[in-house]
Amino acid sequence: MTQEQPELVVDTPVDEIVTLAFSPDGALLAAGGEDAALVWDMQTGCLLHRSDQATGRVSVAFSPNGQLLGTATGSRVRLWDTATWKRLKTLQAHAGILEAVAFSPDGSRIGAGGQEEEGEAVVQVWDVATGEEVRCLTGFSDQRVRGLAFSPDGRLLASAGWDGMVGLWDMATGEETAQCRPDQFGVESVAFSPDGKLLLSCGTGGMVRGWQLPALQEVFAEPTRPTDLPRDLRLCTMYCVAFSPKGEAFATGGSDGIRIFESAGGGEVRTLTEPAGDVEVYAVAFSPRGGLLASGASKGGLVRLWNLGTGRWVLAMQPLGEGGWVSYTLEGYCVCSPGAEQHLHWRLPFAAFSGQYLSPDRVKQALRLPE
């Protein structure tokens, strides 16, 4: 059967995308991979900035005013000026392996968590203006901190640990105010609702759980796979969770794809199917206006943008070797760095690169549609 449209195949040596963050105005999308931080222009689909100073997994977060990008990798947190992409500060962490980074809602502080070389988990919080450490949170088990989130009022910091624990920390005192064990395995991600009344957690146990604040009282628990499946097939690691801007819904990403839930009760609304069936979803992020959902894949450095109105993806963005990159639409139209054509191939009915599919205008149009 003849295909109605070409399928674009990208040759890339880049590994997975593990974290994603939109800038507050939605103009930029930052992606953290295993060896680099990437920043994409949401008007054109072009790659704006690439930082290769990584020593492993890179976590990314924008400051609330959008003027800074924070990256955490190895034992360092770096602050970047988003106007010039100059590095402004480098903060030395106690942890030898950082796994998470987050700005406070007022932008005055930045927190990062991970694991010390001795094996103990630790979270540090710094003053953004001075670079001075203001909090060092300890008392975790000998496991990593995988996720961090500040409450909307900045008073609390939630931590997700591989020990299966979720902790709430008072930023005024540095004391842990509440904790729960939602998973006998590891907790991968936490997220506060925009109104600060609900905390979500997810992890390797295959459940997303909603916790009423401030007592961390469980109000719902949703499996990522249908409960009528055999028990050994129900479990599915959930790597990430994120609220929509208004808080009426939330999204999860995991080994079973992307799922959208309603916040009131946690009922599932929609499943977004990753076209490459063997790809896990390690990161999700809603655009500030809520029309797009970005997802980060476990292979190929792939970031995909989904139109939440239709449930279809509208743009895929991938880094290539030697600093190259490509962004392409569902129909195969693309924009790419000079010389990137050697990495692009179309399956039948096109056997090789076709210039007619190099179309920056089509890429811009795809980015405009959902919003």
Q: How many CB atoms lie within 10 A of CB 12?
A: 18
Identify the pLDDT of residue 64. Answer: 98
Across the range 267-282, mean pLDDT stands at 82
The pLDDT tens digits of the residues spanning 203-223 come to 988 889 999 998 899 998 887
Identify the pLDDT of residue 186. Answer: 86
**Alpha helix positions (H), 175-252:** 231-234
pLDDT at 307 exceeding the cut of 50: yes
Identify the pLDDT of residue 246. Answer: 95
The pLDDT tens digits of the residues spanning 152-192 come to 999 999 999 888 889 999 999 999 999 888 766 789 999 99
pLDDT at 358 exceeding the cut of 80: no
Instruction: Considering only residues 308 and 140, tell me which one the structure prediction assigns the higher pLDDT.
Output: 308
Across the range 148-155, mean pLDDT stands at 98
pLDDT at 337 exceeding the cut of 80: yes
Confidence band for 89, pLDDT divided at 50, 70 and 90? very high
What CATH number should be reported for the domain whose range is 14-332?
2.130.10.10
pLDDT at 29 exceeding the cut of 70: yes
pTM for the model: 0.91
Across the range 77-84, mean pLDDT stands at 97
User: Average model confidence (pLDDT) for the chain?
Assistant: 86
Q: How many CB atoms lie within 10 A of CB 37?
A: 25
Instruction: Considering only residues 188 and 266, tell me which one the structure prediction assigns the higher pLDDT.
Output: 188
Share of the chain above pLDDT 70, in %: 85
Alpha-carbon separation of residue 105 from 153, 219, 244, 248 (angstroms) = 7, 25, 16, 20
Identify the pLDDT of residue 333. Answer: 85
Identify the pLDDT of residue 104. Answer: 98
Sheet containing 249-254, strands listed edge to edge, beginning at the edge strand earlier in sequence? 238-243, 249-254, 257-262, 268-272
Identify the pLDDT of residue 282. Answer: 94
Q: Say if CB 42 and CB 29 are below 8 A apart.
A: yes
Identify the pLDDT of residue 23. Answer: 98
Instruction: Considering only residues 230 and 260, tell me which one the structure prediction assigns the higher pLDDT.
Output: 260
pLDDT at 225 exceeding the cut of 80: no
Instruction: Considering only residues 231 and 288, tell me which one the structure prediction assigns the higher pLDDT.
Output: 288
Across the range 17-22, mean pLDDT stands at 96
Identify the pLDDT of residue 2. Answer: 41
Confidence band for 235, pLDDT divided at 50, 70 and 90? low
Beta strands in 151-279 (DSSP E): 156-161, 166-170, 176-180, 187-192, 198-203, 207-212, 217-223, 238-243, 249-254, 257-262, 268-272
Share of the chain above pLDDT 90, in %: 55
Instruction: Considering only residues 344 and 202, tell me which one the structure prediction assigns the higher pLDDT.
Output: 202
Distance CA 309, CA 302 (A): 22
Instruction: Considering only residues 3 and 197, tell me which one the structure prediction assigns the higher pLDDT.
Output: 197
* DSSP letter for each residue of 84-107: T--EEEEEE-S-SEEEEEEE-TTS
Across the range 343-370, mean pLDDT stands at 67
